[in-house]
Amino acid sequence: MLHIKCPHCGMRSQNEFSYGGDASVKRPELNKEISDEEWDNFVYNRKSLRGKHLELWQHLYGCRQWIKVERDTSTHEIFNTYKADEEIS
Amino acid sequence: MQKYSIFNLVKNAFSNHENWDLAWKDPTPKEEYDVVIIGGGGHGLATAYYLAKEHNITKVAIIEKGWIGGGNVGRNTTIIRSNYMHDENALFSEFGMDLWRKMSQDLNYNVMFSPRGIINLAHSDSQMNAYARRGNSMRLNGIDAVLLNREQVKEIIPMADFSEDVRFPIFGGLMQPSAGTARHDAVAWGYARQADSMGVDIIQNCEVTGFDVTAGKINGIRTSRGNIKTKKVGLCVAGSTNILAEKLNMTLPIETHLLQACVSEPVKPILDRVVTFGAGHFYISQSDKGEMVMGGDLDGYNSYAQRGNLPTLQHVLTEGIAMMPFLSKLKMLRTWGGIMDMSMDGSPIIDKTHIDGLYLNCGWCYGGFKATPASGWTFAHTIAQDRVHELNAGFSLNRFSSGHLIDEKGLGTKTWIS
């Protein structure tokens, strides 16, 4: 079982979280000319990296906050967790 | 090639079965091939077989990083069905059902196809209505479908929980009598043996490290066992699709996820159908050895690990016990995981790409095994003729941008929507 450290609540079991997918995906900016390709990349296309993957999780059965988790998709090792609006260097 | 027959079986018995030919060779890669198929799983092997058989293209190599049959074709729950509502999936899968019925004779290899029928259980009136609609759509496409009421289901699977005070009582079900199971390893081995006998090189322990693309055309691939020249490359790598796509600078509407399955200890025959739970995601059948073969949801997060976590397994088996309480008495024998190429609409992709000579076969989600023959057949056609067949025309790569999604269940990678 994964243990995810919620930046707000501390270390919790995977059962309290739900997954929200790739956190590096950016929504195209509104009020700008947006091409079909940009929408495709936002809605459908994913890199689905093997190795380090920055992803969104929601602490659904806890504080209900969305967080970012840096996890290895081939070993399931979790390196770091961040608040949703935290800048990651 | 040595034919497998009762005569040869008896003949070889006299020499203690020590003189059988190897089922396929272990060639070193040649310098050039007409077609290179990457991925020696069920779909790749079937593609090579149909390239040779239907299109007379035999200068073909299958490049496999591990060993054939070691990936998803050896890690599934062996279910074969065509109970789809949308035309694209229904016609494609039903075409595959025909190939399944003939497969043992066609390959001269007993794949133990067992058309025992699949029952999708319904747990509400509205679900019965939805199943009636799906059943009617199936029948319009020539697929057998029978809507069963509660009593009829009880007659077929009396071991299920038919109490009325449970959370999800059984209202009835939709049955496809011609659906069933097959011996998954035999499918891989059967295709491999026939493809090999027609001249296909099956190259194992060979990893693809790169592609030679010039001016939008494929010229060859780079592998851990040297460079190979070719004008046509077919990708059949399921959960590893994104890894190879990255080497081609392509980003695909695919995410790689982990799906677990498990078998119980073997018990005496109790279940002679494939049954799915309608209020969640759980399916079960009994293998010829007597094990209960079970599976369900994805683990739910991107993963390339071929092993899963317990929360999902617990969730899936809870559904199983709700459906068939006797399962709680069984000991678990094995659990395993495979990595799935989950497409964004839950339907596959068999198409050409923007790179000339590069063909894509991926996005099989939960349903790769049953699609093996139809996928191989249509992919071989797409590669040989350089155009899609009408059976896989709907499985296009650009359907995501054009809006022609095949949202069979309205879910792809996002399991929590179901």
Instruction: Answer yes or no: are the C-beta atoms of B269 and B296 closer than 8 Å.
Output: no
The verdict on residue A31 lying in a domain is no
**Cβ separation of A47 and B310 shorter than 8 Å?**
no
User: Does residue B344 sit at the A interface (CB-CB below 8 Å)?
Assistant: yes
Question: Which of B65, B242, B252, B304 should we substitute to test contact with A (largest number of A Cβ atoms within 10 Å)?
Answer: B304
| From B252, B304, B344, residue closest to A73, measured CB to CB | B304
The helix (run of H) or strand (run of E) holding residue B219 is strand B217-223
Contacts of B348 (CB under 8 A, 6+ apart): B361, B362, B363, B364, B365, B367, B371, B375, B395
Residue of B nearest to A38 (CA): B401
Domain CATH number, residue A17: 3.30.2270.10
The DSSP bridge pattern shows strands A52-58 and B60-63 to be unpaired
Residue A72 lies in a domain: yes
* Contact predicate B72/B340, CB 8 Å: yes
Pairwise CA distance, residues B311 & B299, whole Å: 8
Distance CA B301, CA B365 (A): 14
Residues of chain B contacting residue A75, judged by C-beta atoms under 8 Å apart: 305
In a domain, A18, yes or no: yes
Looking at this protein, which amino acid is placed at residue B188?
A
* Residue B246: closest C-alpha in chain A: A47
A50 vs B contacts (CB less than 8 Å): 242-243, 256, 304
Contact A50 B300 (CB under 8 A): no
Do residues B340 and B346 make contact, with C-beta atoms less than 8 angstroms apart? no
Residues B8-31, buried b or exposed e (16+ Cβ, 10 A)? eeeeeeeeeeeeeeebbeeeebee
**First and final CA of chain B: distance in angstroms?**
48
Q: Does A15 touch chain B (CB under 8 A)?
A: yes
**CA–CA min distance B279, chain A (Å):** 20
The pair of structure tokens assigned to B39 is 């991925």
- How does A12-44 read in b/e, with b if 16+ C-beta sit within 10 Å? bebebbbbbbbbeeeeeeeeeeeeeeeebbeeb
**Structural domain contains residue A32:** no
Within 13 A of B308's CA, how many CA atoms are on the CB side? Answer: 28
Predicted local confidence at residue B418, as pLDDT: 41
Could you tell me which residues are beta bridge partners of residue B223?
Answer: B208, B226
Residue type, B182: A
CA distances to B22, B61, B226, B228 from B206, in Å: 20, 11, 9, 12
SS3 content of chain A, % helix, strand, coil (to 5): 10, 40, 50
**Taking a C-beta distance cutoff of 8 angstroms, is the pair B114, B190 a contact?**
no
Q: Which residues contact residue B237 at a Cβ distance below 8 angstroms, ignoring those fewer than 6 apart?
A: B38, B39, B41, B44, B243, B244, B362
Range of the domain at A11: 3-22+39-83
The answer to whether residue A54 sits within a structural domain is yes
Question: Which of B255, B301, B311 has the CB atom closest to A46's CB atom?
Answer: B255
Q: Which of B251, B300, B416 sits opposite A46 (nearest CB)?
A: B251
Q: Does B398 touch chain A (CB under 8 A)?
A: no
pLDDT in tens, chain B (418 residues): 889 999 999 999 999 999 999 999 999 999 999 999 999 999 999 999 999 999 999 999 999 999 999 999 999 999 999 999 999 999 999 999 999 999 999 999 999 999 999 999 999 999 999 999 999 999 999 999 999 999 999 999 999 999 999 999 999 999 999 999 999 999 999 999 999 999 999 999 999 999 999 999 999 999 999 999 999 999 999 999 999 999 999 999 999 999 999 999 999 999 999 999 999 999 999 999 999 999 999 999 999 998 899 999 999 999 999 999 999 999 999 999 999 999 999 999 999 999 999 999 999 999 999 999 999 999 999 999 999 999 999 999 999 999 999 988 766 666 555 4
Compute the nearest-CA separation of A87 from chain B (Å): 23
Asked if B251 and A53 come within 8 Å (Cβ–Cβ), the reply is no
Residue A3 has pLDDT above 80, yes or no: yes
CB contact under 8 A, B302 and A18: no
Domain count, chain A: 1
The C-alpha atoms of residue B72 and residue B339 are separated, in whole angstroms, by 7
Do strands B180-181 and B79-80 pair parallel, antiparallel, or not at all (unpaired)?
antiparallel
C-alpha distance from A2 to closest chain B C-alpha (Å) = 8
Cβ atoms of B68 and B40 closer than 8 Å: yes
Mean pLDDT of chain A: 94
- Residue A74 sits at the chain B interface (C-beta within 8 Å): yes
State which H helix or E strand residue B257 sits in. strand B254-264
Which residue's structure tokens are 């988790």?
A69
A residues 22-61 closer than 8 Å to B (CB) = 22, 36-37, 39-41, 43-50, 53, 55
The whole-angstrom distance between B193's CA and the closest CA on chain A is 32
* pLDDT at residue A31, rounded to an integer: 87
Tell me whether residue A34 is in a domain: no
Does the residue A89 lie in any domain? Answer: no
Phi-psi sector, B138: left (phi>0), alpha (psi -120 to 50), beta: alpha
CA distance A48 to B72: 18
Residues 268-327 of B with CB under 8 A from A: 300-305, 309-311
Strands B254-264 and B332-343: antiparallel
Q: Look at residue A87 and tell me whether its pLDDT is greater than 70.
A: yes
B124 vs A88, higher pLDDT: B124
Can you tell me which residue has the tokens 């270390």?
A: A11
Is residue A8 assigned to a domain? yes
